[in-house]
Structure 1
Amino acid sequence: MQIRSSKRMQRPLPNWFWGVPLVLLVGVALLIAFGPEERTLGQGIRSVYLHVGLIWTGLMGFGVTAVLGIGVLLTEKPFWLRWFVPVSWVALGFYAAGVFMSMVASADNWGAVFLQEPRMAASLNGLAVATILLVLGSWQPWPRVRGALGASIIFVLLWFNFSAELVLHPQNPITNSEATPIQLTFLLVTTLFVLLAGWVVWLLRFAKLK
């Protein structure tokens, strides 16, 4: 039984698996290229689509990280840790990409990157704290501590963002928009990024099994 299980873990991924990210990225590109423009931002909304999709994917990833981290904290079982590690780092990668795209969106729509703008500063501070917590967790030998540190990230990020004063940044570009096509585009872009994040996590888990 153990030998059969080992063989199953080492079985190569199917060929179609490698085409999944290409399909997802093409889908994102098409949505950005042909998605509706906004009356005030015009084409500047295209960078906002990417920024929001990446940030939301990162936040959802950290939400899953919190669940897995609590599982590690309470049980210390390898099952939770094996998923916790790739999910947390992939979440960080997407969140970091979202913060970078916020700078691009800022330059597109405001003419400059305002690092002191409260929501921008909150995102940068949150990214720094998330990185530190994940690195510290990976350096120390206690799985329960690692789980607790990772689980705290989503709460830190939400606290940073909700406590930041709104100066230039809108409160929520999706719920504040009255245009259903724009809302739908935001949601579709986010969905494709979430699927891409899931693909990366699965790839990392497969590589670790090998």
Structure 2
Amino acid sequence: MSTPRVFKSALFWLLATLLLIAVFTALGPAEKTLGVNVRVVYLHGAWVWTALAAFIAAAATGLGGFVFRRESLHRWSLALGRTGLLFWITYLPISLWAMQANWNGLFLVEPRWRVGVIFAVGGVLLQAGLTLLESPMWASALNLGYAVALLAVLQTTGRIMHPPSPILNSDAPRLQLFFGGLCALTLLAAWQMVRWLRRHDEPHSADVVTAKAPSQTG
């Protein structure tokens, strides 16, 4: 008996993983200071870490594409970069939620929030340009530059109310273990997104080859 087609779909597993993330977050352990509001902090942290991991992977894969001269790596870089941007953009409303829940208001002058918005807008413009260029090599080059710029800016960006790695610096191993599990789930969701975007890119590649075929045989 063959496996139903839906279970082979990356999009199906992405949605299933997102549902699991929601349930897992809702069951997260409370913290003595923030109470159950710490759950949105877990989600916020895991989401932004996943975005950063995708950007770094996009840069590394793109660099590999140039070193080994493989177009497939450039296309993986494109999918990874777009996945990172999707997680980066969606981390912003989660950040607002975390502010409202734990700071009793929106502190929009927080330097890291402003950096997040700037790089979200810049990332959208970058991806729009890549869509027009239709060049996987350009995707690798720009993903590499974007990741380096983002990491460099984050290293030099100050904090006003945003604590440095509150979960990792916690004295409660139970919270850290839960956060590690949540990060694993968000990374899994990101991988499903990458797979879906990469597969979505395949028909386009086939169309290009088909379009070139008449001129090559004619």
TM-score range, shorter chain: 0.7 to 0.9
Residue 108 of structure 2, aligned match among 95, 112, 115: 115
Query: SS state of the match for residue 68, structure 1?
Result: helix
* Structure 1 stretch displaced more, 160-169 or 75-84: 75-84
Query: Amino acid of the residue matched to residue 53 of structure 1?
Result: A
Partner of 1:103: 96
Partner of 1:46: 39
Residue 182 of structure 1, aligned match among 152, 175, 178: 175
Residue 85 of structure 1, aligned match among 78, 82, 107: 78
What are the superposed Cα offsets for residues 15-74 of structure 1, whole Å, 9 maximum, x if unpaired?
A: 323453354234322321221111221121111111111111111100110012213444
Larger Rg: 2
Q: Is the 8 A contact 1:134 1:150 kept in 2?
A: no
Partner of 1:24: 17
Query: SS state of the match for residue 190, structure 1?
Result: helix
Matches within 5 A, 1:112-151: 112-140=105-133, 143-151=136-144
* Structure 1 stretch displaced more, 191-200 or 22-31: 22-31
Q: Is the 8 A contact 1:99 1:124 kept in 2?
A: yes
Once the 2 structures are TM-superposed, how far is the Cα of residue 142 of structure 1 from its aligned partner? 5.5
Task: Give unmatched runs, 5+ long, in structure 2.
Answer: 204-218
Partner of 2:211: none
TM-score (norm 1): 0.84
CA 159–54 in structure 1, closer or farther in 2 if over 3 Å, else same = same
CA 142–204 in structure 1, closer or farther in 2 if over 3 Å, else same = closer
Q: Is the 8 A contact 1:54 1:193 kept in 2?
A: yes
Paired-residue identity, %: 29
Once the 2 structures are TM-superposed, how far is the Cα of residue 76 of structure 1 from its aligned partner? 4.8
Once the 2 structures are TM-superposed, how far is the Cα of residue 14 of structure 1 from its aligned partner? 3.8
- Separation in 1, partners of 2:162, 2:54: 23
Query: Amino acid of the residue matched to residue 17 of structure 1?
Result: K
Structure 1 segments, 4+ long, off by >6 Å, are none
- Separation in 2, partners of 1:111, 1:145: 43
Q: Does 1:158 align with 2:151?
A: yes
What are the superposed Cα offsets for residues 143-190 of structure 1, whole Å, 9 maximum, x if unpaired?
A: 544321111222222222221112100111222111111111211111
Query: SS state of the match for residue 48, structure 1?
Result: helix
- Separation in 2, partners of 1:183, 1:71: 33
Q: Is the 8 A contact 2:77 2:139 kept in 1?
A: no
- Separation in 2, partners of 1:163, 1:122: 11
CA 139–26 in structure 1, closer or farther in 2 if over 3 Å, else same = closer
Q: Does 1:15 align with 2:24?
A: no
